Amino acid sequence: MELIECVPNISEGCNSELIEQIAKVISSVSGVKLLHVDAGKAANRTVYTFVGFPESVVEAAFNMFEFVIKHIDMSKHTGTHPRIGAVDVCPLIPIQGISLEQTKQYAEQLAKRVGEELHVPVYLYEQNAKYIHRTRLEQIRSGEYEGFSQKMQSEGWDPDYGPHVFNPKTGASVIGARNFLLAYNINLVSSDVTIAKHIAARIRESGGNYTDMFGKKHVSKGLLRGVKAIGWYIPEYDVVQVSTNITDFNLVSMYKVYSEVQKLAIQYGTNVRGSELIGLVPYDALHNAGKEILQQKPSVANDTIQAAIQELGLQDVKEFTPQKQILEYVAGVL
C-alpha cells in the first residue's frame, strides 16, 4: 500500500474556528486521515499532519490551499515564525510502499495545480528544487513576506509555477518532497533571546555569526550536521527557545541536539528547561534518543520512549502524549 504524508504549515494559529474549518476540509477527502493539528499562537501558525493514498493526499492538499487563500489575508498577518505565504510550506513525505522519487512526482503535480489554477506563486524545494540556490526552505524564505515582492523581481527568483507577480493577500508558497523532518524546540532558563540566537548559530549546520560569553565575535562553521536552528521568544510559554529542524534523526538524535544546546547554555551562564516537539514524531526518533540516554543513564526509565520523554523534558511546558504524538501510534501502524 502506497502512503504519503503531508505536513502543511498554515499562517494562522489564533482563530480556532478557522483552524477547525481547515481540518474539516482536509478530512473530507476519502483516502486521507488527519493525524494531528498543532497550533501556535505566538508563531500564529498551525501545522497539520495527514496521511493517505498519494492521489487523495494531493487532492486534500489542493482543497486546503483553495480554502486557505480565500480565508487568510497575509497583508494582516503577524507572528514570530518566518513565513512568506498563507500556506507557507507544504511538504510531501514518503511513508510506506513509495519512494522519495515517486513522491517527488506528486509534489510536482500539486505545485502545478496550485500555481496554475489558484494563481499562487509556488517555489519548489528539497527534492523538487530546480535551482541549487532554492533547495533549502530558509533560502527561499529569506526576506520573508515583507521582502518577497522585491525578491520576486530579482534575478533567479521567478516562481516555478503561478504568477510572476507577488500577491499581497496570498503571499507565496513552497512545495516539495522531502524525508521526515523533526521540528524540535529547546527551552532556555533565560529571557535573553540573543543567547538563543548565538547558540542557534553555533549548532546549525550552516553556522553563522555569534558572540561568545566574553563578548568576542566569531563565525561558526556549524557543530551539528542535518540541523537547522534559530533563536526566538515564545510569549505564550514565556520562554526563550532554540528552535531546530532535524533533517535526519538517524544522523543526529534529539538527545545529541539537546545535550549540545545545554552545554552551550551553561557556557552563557544559563541552562535548558525541557523541550517540545511540533507535530508528530516517528517512533524511531524517540527510540534512538531514549536508547542513547539509557546507555549513559541506565536508571532514568524502564524503556527508551519514557527515557526520551523524561530526559528531554518533553512535558515541561507542553503536554506530550505518546499515543497522540508518535506517528505510528496515531496512524495505527503500531
Question: Which residues are part of the catalytic machinery?
Answer: 81
Contact at 8 Å (CB) between 12 and 204? no
Phi-psi region of 298 (alpha: psi -120 to 50; beta: other; left: phi over 0): alpha
Contact at 8 Å (CB) between 275 and 312? yes
Residue whose C-alpha is closest to residue 327's, from 86, 84, 38, 35: 35
Report the 10 Å Cβ neighbour count for 122.
26
Unique residue bearing C-alpha cell 526566538: 232
d(CA 69, CA 193): 33
d(CA 182, CA 258): 13
Contact at 8 Å (CB) between 236 and 40? yes
Question: Kind of pairing, strands 122-124 and 173-177?
Answer: parallel
Question: Kind of pairing, strands 45-52 and 182-188?
Answer: unpaired
d(CA 90, CA 323): 25
Report the 10 Å Cβ neighbour count for 280.
25
